[in-house]
Structure 1
Amino acid sequence: MSWPEGIEARPIDKGDADAWAELLAAKELVDHEGENYDAQDLIDELEDPHLDPALDTIGLWADGRMIGYGKLHASEAVVDLDRVGTEGTVHPEWRRRGVGTALMPWLMNRAAELHAAKHPDAPGEVTSNRISTNVGAERLFQRFGFEERRYFFDMKRPLDQPVPKVPLENGLRLVPYDTSMDEALRLVHNEVFRDHWGSTPRDPDSWRTWFTGARAFRGGSSYVLLDGDTIAAYVLGYEYEADTEATGIRELYIGQVGTLKSYRGRGLARVTLAKVLAKAAETGYQRSGLGVDADNPTGALGLYEKLGYSVSSKWVSYGLPL
């Protein structure tokens, strides 16, 4: 791979976490994506059991600083399409110098290798996304033939506004998350999201890494709705310390909201989320955030709007067939 003059390229390791965090902080100052990371967040990403940092990451360096990076994530299972996710950025001071144009082929080539190694018999696609206001990223995706696939909204809700009272059906119980229900919850989550665009089943390792075992997970701010021993609905909350430090606002991020298909249409997600919001306000959170698929077939966007959320940003998902 040929890189612009003066740039050294090598895989990212844990010793690069501080430099990586500095790069992402510089990116956030310009791109305003609402995402902040500290060094430990990035070390956590490198410890993903399904990531091979030596092959699936690249850091671009100049004058002792990380001025760009790329990273890929391949799914362990395929539902309809093997989507190989990519991410990356270039330091604002180094943009429009051909760095992104050089980084994109590296990501595409590695995505093709991952697809061939993991799911060669399934159709494949390299994917990425951008916030709608980043026109430079839009031009780069278009240059390499990517097409828009889906739209997502980030939504926010201040917690100084009253949370609607939502009654709970007789016979159902709303309880805080407990580790004893973790495996049952993972299986329910996989069932709930089986018909959601782009979702693939979570194995125990990825579930622990990115869901209930994540450093940001807040079990005390997560609730499960039970019908007997059946998990009918659930809402899982997260708190990202780097976001709090950067913004001065303590936010409970709603990472997952789900209702089993046989229980849909009864308002159970609304009941559960209302409980989570009320609890978050009681425990000192100032805001709640979440992300939603604009075309979610369960009507999630309307649910969130009725509970007081409003759109703060729009994201575009891109794909290019492999």
Structure 2
Amino acid sequence: MGCRAAGPGSTVLGMGTFEGWPAWVEARPIEKPDAEAWAGLLADVQKVDQDGENFSVEDLLEELDDPLVNAASDTIGLWTDGVMVGYGLVRWRTHVIDVHRLNTDAAVRPAWRRRGLGSALISWMTGRAGELHLEHHPDVDAELNAGTISTNEGARTLLTSLGFEECRYFFEMKRPFDSPIPAVEASAGLRVVTFDPSYDEALRLTHNDVFLDHWGSTPKDEDTWKVWFTGSRAFRGDLTFLVLDGERIVAYAIGYEYEADTAATGIREVYIGQVGTVRSHRGRGLAAVAISAQMREAERTGYKRASLGVDAENPTGALGLYERLGFEQDKTSITYRRPLT
């Protein structure tokens, strides 16, 4: 299924056509040569929205390699006078547990806001999401998800005005290494090891099982795992710790370093992307064991702080765990939903 720009004001998209772009906009799919312009757009967005996410050209090229994104049909870039002024992107899910939640990314360059581009992007993403849903999971309910930092009143107002409702809150938490990191030891019979590629598939399967009871999570296939988890350019195996019972992974904390964030802030930070404990071993403090080992190694190797994101309604009580380890809330992001009909 391909997509080709049909000139300013319209874009041909697979099974349908969206013609809601302003006449002064050229709308076409994002291609790899556009990554530098895309990064410039996001840098301008970050200066105003301050959500703490920075992207390099290399990061965006990785986005285009996502196996669940066909750039030719699932992305759109908006251009005027050779400047990228907005973009949209839709991702579908290979597996569905309850509802097919299609995720979106989108932004409009601040100087071009309040000209109808945000509404047009959401209309395009809604249409494309509907196509993807019918193609992949037509027999289940579906919804479009969009997220924004809680302080972005413009985005919140836009989403609400277009029929989206708040459905989930996530806290970004940070833990500077300016106070001692507690050493949390594993109980007798368990071992703590750093990641080795020989554990990769076992870690994927363990993660899929652990997160079955987490909102919005679905099992990760091998291709997605390799692009966004242990195959990501941000992944740090030396900062990923596993708790083993025999040879079985029973808890883990996966570490990442986003170099664009370091360049923007001047602070080297380990991002704890995924933390989990298998059901049979919950309640024994094993996630704290993995995170403690991770932070101590990060501090030893020159990192200045750790950060992570947590669902405010996490069913395993993760928020309390992170607070006990010294993490404090820094920002709040909100996920919005709108059913696809």
Distance apart, 1:5 and its partner CA: 3.1
Task: Say if 2:131 is the partner of 1:80.
Answer: no
Task: Say if 2:150 is the partner of 1:132.
Answer: yes
The alignment partner of 1:220 has SS state of: strand
1 CA distance for matches of 2:219 and 2:179? 36
Distance apart, 1:165 and its partner CA: 2.2
Task: Say if 2:43 is the partner of 1:37.
Answer: no
Of residues 90, 111, 128, the one that matches 1:110 is 128
Of residues 206, 211, 215, the one that matches 1:193 is 211
Stretches of structure 1 lacking an aligned partner (at least 5 in a row): none
Distance apart, 1:119 and its partner CA: 0.3
Partner of 1:255: 273
Stretches of structure 2 lacking an aligned partner (at least 5 in a row): 1-18
2 CA distance for matches of 1:248 and 1:167? 32
Distance apart, 1:50 and its partner CA: 1.9
Partner of 1:238: 256
Partner of 2:10: none
Distance apart, 1:51 and its partner CA: 1.1
Q: What is the total number of aligned residue pairs between the two structures?
A: 322
Q: CA RMSD in A?
A: 0.7
Partner of 2:71: 53
Task: Say if 2:326 is the partner of 1:308.
Answer: yes
Of residues 179, 187, 205, the one that matches 2:197 is 179
Partner of 2:164: 146
2 CA distance for matches of 1:23 and 1:176? 37
Distance apart, 1:4 and its partner CA: 1.7
Distance apart, 1:2 and its partner CA: 2.2
2 CA distance for matches of 1:73 and 1:6? 27
Partner of 1:264: 282
Of residues 172, 185, 204, the one that matches 1:167 is 185
Partner of 2:14: none
Q: Which amino acid aligns with 1:258?
A: G
Deviations 1:243-286 (A, max 9, x none): 11111010000000010011000000011101101110000001
Distance apart, 1:168 and its partner CA: 1.7
Whether contact under 8 Å (1:160, 1:281) holds in the other structure is no
1 CA distance for matches of 2:177 and 2:37? 34
Aligned counterparts, 1:59-78, within 5 A? 59-78=77-96
Of residues 280, 299, 303, the one that matches 1:285 is 303
The alignment partner of 1:219 has SS state of: strand
Whether contact under 8 Å (1:159, 1:286) holds in the other structure is yes
2 CA distance for matches of 1:262 and 1:137? 41
1 CA distance for matches of 2:296 and 2:42? 33
Q: Which amino acid aligns with 1:164?
A: P
Q: Structure 1 vs Structure 2: percent identity of aligned residues?
A: 57
2 CA distance for matches of 1:156 and 1:46? 29
Distance apart, 1:74 and its partner CA: 0.4
Aligned counterparts, 1:5-24, within 5 A? 5-24=23-42
Whether contact under 8 Å (1:124, 1:321) holds in the other structure is yes
Q: What TM-score do the two structures reach when normalised by structure 2? A: 0.94
2 CA distance for matches of 1:39 and 1:46? 11
1 CA distance for matches of 2:66 and 2:147? 21
| Larger displacement relative to structure 2 (233-242 or 156-165) | 156-165
Q: Which amino acid aligns with 1:32?
A: Q
Which structure exhibits the higher relative contact order, with contacts defined as CA atoms closer than 8 Å and separated by 6 or more residues?
1
Q: What TM-score do the two structures reach when normalised by structure 1? A: 0.99
Q: Which amino acid aligns with 2:182?
A: P
Distance apart, 1:63 and its partner CA: 1.3
